[in-house]
Amino acid sequence: MCEEADMEKNYHVCTGCGLLCDDIEVESEKNIVNKVYTACRVGVAHMKEARRGEADFLVDNKPVDEATAIREAASILKNARNPLIFGLGTSTNETQKIAIELAKKINATLDDTSSFCLGPLVEALIQDKLKTCTLDDIRNKADVIIYWGTDPSDSHPRQLSKHTYFPRGSEKQRGWEEERTAIAIDVRKSHTAKICGNYFFQIPPKGDAEFIDALIAGLSGKLPKTSYNYPPKKLLELANILKGAKFGVIFVGRGLIYSLENLEPLFKLMKILNEKSNFHLIPMIGNCNTMGFNKNLCEETGYVNSVKFENGNVKHGPEYSVVESLKAKTVDAALVIGSDPLLILPGSISKNMLEIPVISVDHCETLTSKHSKVYINTAISGVEAGGSAIRMDGVKVSFEPVIETNHPSEEVILKKIMEAL
């Protein structure tokens, strides 16, 4: 056997999305990532974000040293009556736990993007109200896969090839050609819907709840009806496929969650699906560790987001979400970690952030960092800093840095801010 065949390959974890692919190979020289193998286009771009040079520390958009930036950040938080800590979806579990301790120490409001994304669904899964499984289970066993209100071909490009539709698994050796059925339910013909071919079910915007009711009727042997006259024959065809599933899974995207007023239709659908066959549900989480934040906060407080710490007590409710906190102007300072609320929130809400001092801790310059009182430039989790994160299916994944950097990790920065308080 040749010597090269005996060499052990060094695989890395990609923190570019919620899949946390763990089979990435990287070529680097002088701490610059030159080539990335196996990763998708999102992963390649993410890995190549790593850069040389000194970290940036800015106060009022003027360069300062790290100690000055830390002191200024600590001063802002110390003088605030009701500070907000927001973000952390791309932070390690270790960083998130420190952020929770910091929030307790300064009586902060703490939230992440899940409060206006998939938070209610993740909470139901953490509380075991819905049946779930792992991506490995799907690769090995799944015969019916539904992508509902989501387009992983664009958002999570390796999901179909590595985990769900295309790969062969231990119990699915003949693969997608013979043993798997992929179904897309969406308002538009996405790239994923095109892959699903004749099993694409196009519904009107906000039509999901009615579609679920009609599908439940079809599963119950009744004639399915919708106000938008979806063909009953197609609905009955879908119901029969789902009834015959030996191991089914629904990947739920924001398209479905935003369409529903609450999760009750989804609970009803999963109940009847598991009376007729065997179905699981996984949220299509975008960031690499939103699931980690939700789980870590839930372990500490019993809630997945939108909490307010107050002298050892925890309050929870929509009024403590980032959207409502900014809308009502109840927060008077903000520590933003690895997120860009000025970009992602509606302008009518995010503009209120311009009225308070903001500390931005991020590996890259953002719209929020440009308008921050303090900007601290940190290492990229998973590329320049190690730690752990929790995959969209709830599996914990640990990783080492791909390259060395002189940029401090978010974990180190939060510890220093806590020490300076």
pLDDT at 49 (0 to 100): 86
pLDDT band, very low/low/confident/very high, at 1 (cuts 50, 70, 90): very low
Query: What is the maximum span of the chain, computed from C-alpha positions, in angstroms?
Result: 70
| Nearest by Cα to 242 from 214, 274, 204, 208 | 274
Strand stretches in 32-82, DSSP E: 32-37, 57-59, 62-63
The span from the CA of 391 to the CA of 35, in Å, is 24
Amino acid occupying residue 359: I
pLDDT at 54 (0 to 100): 73
Give yes or no for residue 3 having a pLDDT over 90: no
Q: Are 218 and 231 in contact (CB under 8 A)?
A: no
3-state SS assignment for residue 327: helix
Give yes or no for residue 100 having a pLDDT over 60: yes
pLDDT at 393 (0 to 100): 98
pLDDT at 178 (0 to 100): 84
Whether residues 268 and 296 fall in one domain:
no
CA dihedral 58, 64, 70, 72 (to 10 degrees): -80
Whether residues 204 and 93 fall in one domain:
no
Whether residues 297 and 275 fall in one domain:
no
- Looking at 72-76, 175-179, 398-402, which range is the least confident one? 175-179
Structural domains of the chain, count: 3
Contacts of 140 (CB under 8 A, 6+ apart): 169, 170, 171, 172
| Nearest by Cα to 253 from 244, 241, 239, 266 | 266
Query: pLDDT tens across 284-328, in order?
Result: 999 999 999 999 999 999 999 999 999 999 999 999 999 999 999
pLDDT at 152 (0 to 100): 97
Q: Please calculate the CA angle 252-253-256 and round it to the nearest 5 degrees.
A: 85
Q: What percentage of the chain exceeds 70 in pLDDT?
A: 97
pLDDT at 4 (0 to 100): 40
**Which has more confidence, 8 or 403?**
403
| Nearest by Cα to 181 from 133, 143, 210, 222 | 143
pLDDT at 9 (0 to 100): 66
Query: pLDDT tens across 158-201, in order?
Result: 999 999 999 999 988 887 778 999 999 999 999 999 999 999 99
Amino acid occupying residue 318: P
**Ramachandran class of 64: left when φ > 0, alpha when ψ lies in -120 to 50, beta otherwise:** beta
Contacts of 3 (CB under 8 A, 6+ apart): none
The span from the CA of 239 to the CA of 216, in Å, is 8
pLDDT at 285 (0 to 100): 98
Whether residues 155 and 261 fall in one domain:
yes
Average pLDDT over residues 366-373: 97
Give yes or no for residue 14 having a pLDDT over 70: yes
* Domain encompassing residue 304: 57-117+288-420
pLDDT at 6 (0 to 100): 35
The span from the CA of 357 to the CA of 108, in Å, is 14
- Looking at 8-17, 36-45, 125-134, 254-263, which range is the least confident one? 8-17
Residue 359 lies in a domain: yes
Whether residues 123 and 272 fall in one domain:
yes
Pair of tokens at residue 270: 């999963």
pLDDT band, very low/low/confident/very high, at 341 (cuts 50, 70, 90): very high
pLDDT at 52 (0 to 100): 61
Whether residues 203 and 327 fall in one domain:
no
Give yes or no for residue 60 having a pLDDT over 50: yes
Q: What percentage of the chain exceeds 90 in pLDDT?
A: 92
Whether residues 355 and 401 fall in one domain:
yes
Q: What is the pTM of this model?
A: 0.94
Helices (H), 207-316: 208-219, 232-243, 254-259, 264-276, 290-301
- The sign of the dihedral angle between the CA atoms of 223, 229, 234, 239 is negative
Whether residues 332 and 278 fall in one domain:
no
Pair of tokens at residue 187: 């308002």
End position of a domain, from candidates 283, 308, 333: 283
